[in-house]
Chain A
Amino acid sequence: MTRLDELHRSAALRWYGALLAFTHVITYVFWSKIPALLAQRPGNAVCWPFFESCWKLHPISQSLMHGVLHAYLALAIVGVLLFFGERLSRHCTTAAYVALLVMNLVKLAIFVLDYRLMGNYHYMPFVVSFAFLFCRDKAALCRYLIVGFYLSAGSLKLNAEWLSGAALLRPAFLTGWLGDASLAYVVLLELVLVFGLLSRNPFVFYATLVQFLIFHIYSWHIVGYFYPCIMFCLLAVFPLARLERSDGDDSLGARLLARKLPRSTIFVLAAYAAAQVAPVLFPGDNALTGEGRMFALNMLDAKSECSLELVARDGNVHTEHATLGAGLGTRIRCEPLVYFNAARGLCNDGASEVDLGLVARRTTDTWFQRLVGVTDLCGKHLEYDVWRHNAWIER
């Protein structure tokens, strides 16, 4: 059975494909500020470590980016519609498959232009879309992956940062003891109750699913609309597959325990699990150092704050650039990689000497710790190593 045969045979998968395409419509709305972000001067670009020359593409014309984003939106809408065209022609589903592939490639192309675009709300749709497009037993794999997302997120929340509420981006409706209890409940939901999503028992299954839906609805006032909307789309695979009875008599949990899984499923799940371990293999507090985090989910495990010392020297004029980090997302606003990029941007802008210092702490810590203290960064020709600990990042 080819990858497309599954889609032709399963209405549930086609519905799910349409929802995955719809995540790109939501992404289009969410990315409305991107043209302005990418139109900044090259020195303000924050490049991914595997695309360190991204600054050469900056500034990107705002009209060009608007054009690309409009094309991306059109493709996403067409993709959504094509997934409903199976009855008209089997070619519609094939075209929808290709459209979903292309929209992911377009999204990836935009995504790699700047590290500030990173976020779990992109990480998860990318992983699920990969499974949907390239793997067998799509419905099962997507569900295992989503359970895996929750397990990863829950394990990251098992700390004082989350349990005290300090990690929350904004104050929650529930406060005091109720607030503490709700935060603990989320950890139990993501680490224990989540297995209910794999249950064959309809009561257990739907009771669990409803709890997750309520959790995401509740989180809306804290994290904004984008993340919950993405999760609603991704979670849809559970009721869709169940309504189609695509699992036969076995529950997903039973299949997992009995190891009745295709090799591609095992491979993808193993790769996902390995990626989540990556940050732990780097020394120091990776919520602050950021090393290894780009491989893994980094849910609201830690909110950090930092103080930047970035000084460029041009002859006898020293200029501090303490505001380069302004407007960064919560997860990367204190990451050494961001400021390393900013410092190199100043070198590329012609500064003869650049000093970079960064101190940071989790908001629950009393004291800051020094993460970076490099003088004359331009002359030292430092690199950011994705795979190994960077000696210039202090633990």
Chain B
Amino acid sequence: MSRRVHIGLVVYGAVLAAAMVRINPALVGCAARQTPTTPTAVFGGAPFRGRAATALSAPTFVYRGSNARTGFDPVNRFTGPLKLAWQYGPVNAGIHAAAKSSPAVDSSGIYVGADTGDFYALDWKGTLRWSFHVDNAPQGIHATAALDGDNAYFGDYKGRFYALRKDSGDLAWAIQLGETIGSSAAIVGPAIYICVERNHPFDGFVAKLDRRTGELQWMSSWLGDQSHASPTIDETRGALYVGANNGILRALALDTGTERWRTQLDGAIKSTAVLVRDVIYVTSDAGHLYAVEVATGQIRWQVALSGTAKGSPSYVPDEDLLVFGSNAGTGKHAAGGHVQAVRAADGAPVWSIPTDLGDMRASPTIEKSTDGSIAWTSCGEHAICALDTRTGAIRQQLPLPAAFTGTPTLFDGRMYITLFDGGLFAFEP
């Protein structure tokens, strides 16, 4: 009896040992312990699909007017000075130094995120239609929403990406992608592209999501540092371009997320790249504006700026110019700065005007006027200006109660902006 029991135990133990080796071959050195090497193994995801859309609607708004992020609005036209129509808020409380979310506007209304964690939907009179408070994001929302016919899409500073129904504010789906999202999404057909950040240690990646369900389709390799910039889409070449805080500008394939090329610039890339034909333009924190060939990643030209540039350049098609702002020096708080224009072809300076704004983070929005083009941008500590893109002359200056750090949004003759520490303002002719 005892012997049989002992033999039974030995056989039982041997079978168990074999089972364990089969489960974890590393026990006998047959396979290395699996270590996550790509973001996929670290984050991954599957969405809550409470209210997935049954059919895809057309995109109606993306950050900086288009996926090329040129900042040029081909529809609106400057017809004369603007005056305050209404204001809503305060919206932002000045939490965290990053540029604030800009209003996303389409025919259904105005949508904007706040650094307090609230996302607002307003009607044309500035009345709240609905709000959605994201939990557990102490630094709130800094990304500008992308819109289609059904949903508003945005990420928060806790790394979660949301799709909210525009009509009701109900959650369509959400997905936890990383630890921070400061980037604004791009919509391409059935896909959404977004940059995601990791805080410990600093890193980032680009994610492609299914617009209908939020399901993750691919995640790029690690970018090597955080990426606050928004992806710039080049549908012709099937590529997206994105920079990161390590100064590396990358081109990734839209369909797979694999890297096509990378170019090391001289400082952190906080701004979103601008795509014009076969060149992308991007600024660096170290104080340069670069023109980079989209096909190869080679730098076509670069110009030294007066200092740090966190905002993106905006493209003026009629004059083939780039308009942008920069600080005086690369210190954290400069004494002042400049708004300037250079030729897109070779970076040659065209005009420059000084400002008393030492922390320029805003990016201009360009619209046509009866005689040329207008660049709406921050032009002082508490002011936004309409500048003549040919000369830099101020056509109108609107005083503001607080700093402006985003991108003005133009829609149906009106201009909408949010303040760094204040409300949402609507201006009309």
Contacts and interface: CB of A to CB of B under 8 A. Distances in A.
A107 interface: no
Contact of A309 (B20, B48, B130): B48
Interface in B1-54: 1, 5, 9, 12-13, 16-17, 19-20, 23-24, 26-27, 29, 33-34, 40-41, 44-51
Contacts of A176: 33
A266 interface: no
B57 interface: no
Interface stretch (B169-177, B264-272, B369-377, B398-406): B169-177
A359 B27 CA distance: 31
A220 to B, nearest CB: 24
A320 B133 contact: yes
A319 B34 contact: no
Contacts of A192: 9, 12-13, 16
B170 A359 contact: no
B50 A375 contact: yes
A164 B24 contact: yes
A253 interface: yes
A309 B174 contact: yes
B48 A373 contact: yes
A160 interface: yes
B27 A366 contact: no
Contacts, number: 128
A370 B9 contact: no
Interface string B126-157: 00111111111000000000000000000000
B130 A373 contact: no
Interface string A148-178: 0000000000111001100000000000110
Nearest to B158: A322
Contacts of A367: 44-46
Nearest to A258: B1
Contacts of A158: 16, 19-20, 23
A251 B135 CA distance: 59
A184 interface: yes
A355 B51 CA distance: 10
A318 interface: yes
B169 A195 contact: no
B23 A159 contact: yes
A354 to B, nearest CB: 11
A358 interface: yes
A59 interface: no
A317 interface: yes
Contacts of A311: 132, 170-171
A181 B17 CA distance: 11
Binding site secondary structure of chain A: mixed
B5 A253 contact: yes
A191 B171 CA distance: 47
A5 interface: no
B27 A180 contact: yes
Contacts of B27: 163, 180-181, 184
Contacts of B50: 309, 355, 357, 373-375
Interface in B162-183: 164, 169-171, 174-176
Given A355-B170, A368-B45, A257 B5 contact: yes
Contacts of B17: 184, 188
A322 B171 CA distance: 13
A187 B20 CA distance: 9
B136 A318 contact: no
A366 B40 contact: yes
B20 A184 contact: yes
Given A191-B16, A323-B136, A309 B45 contact: no
Contacts of B175: 307
B130 A316 contact: yes
Contacts of A187: 16, 20
Contacts of A316: 128-131, 169
Nearest to B36: A366
Contacts of A307: 45, 48, 160, 174-176
Nearest to A322: B135
A58 interface: no
Contacts of A357: 48-50, 171, 174
A62 interface: no
Contacts of B16: 158, 187-188, 191-192
B416 to A, nearest CB: 20
Contacts of B12: 191-192
Contacts of B133: 317-320
B47 A370 contact: yes
Contacts of B128: 316
A164 B136 contact: no
B351 to A, nearest CB: 47
A236 B132 CA distance: 56
Interface string A219-238: 00000000000000000000
B352 to A, nearest CB: 45
Contact of B9 (A181, A195, A313): A195
A359 B5 contact: no
Contacts of B47: 359, 370
A363 to B, nearest CB: 10
Nearest to A175: B33
A160 B23 contact: yes
Interface in B78-102: none
A309 B131 contact: no
B130 A318 contact: yes
Given A184-B24, A309-B174, A370 B46 contact: yes
Residue among B34, B40, B169, B174 with the highest chain A CB neighbour number at 10 A: B174
Given A320-B133, A366-B40, A309 B9 contact: no
B135 A319 contact: yes
A160 B33 CA distance: 11
A355 B169 CA distance: 12
Nearest to A321: B135
A321 B13 CA distance: 48
Contacts of B40: 366
A311 B49 CA distance: 13
A361 interface: yes
Contact of B33 (A164, A322, A359): A164
Residue among B29, B47, B128 with the highest chain A CB neighbour number at 10 A: B47
B23 A317 contact: no
Q: Which 6 residue pairs across A and B have the least CB separation, nearest first?
A: A357-B48, A163-B24, A307-B176, A322-B135, A320-B135, A192-B13
16 contacts: A164-B34, A177-B26, A180-B33, A257-B5, A309-B48, A311-B132, A311-B171, A317-B130, A320-B134, A321-B135, A322-B158, A355-B50, A355-B171, A366-B40, A367-B45, A373-B50
Given A320-B133, A322-B158, 4 more contacts: A158-B23, A188-B13, A316-B130, A366-B41
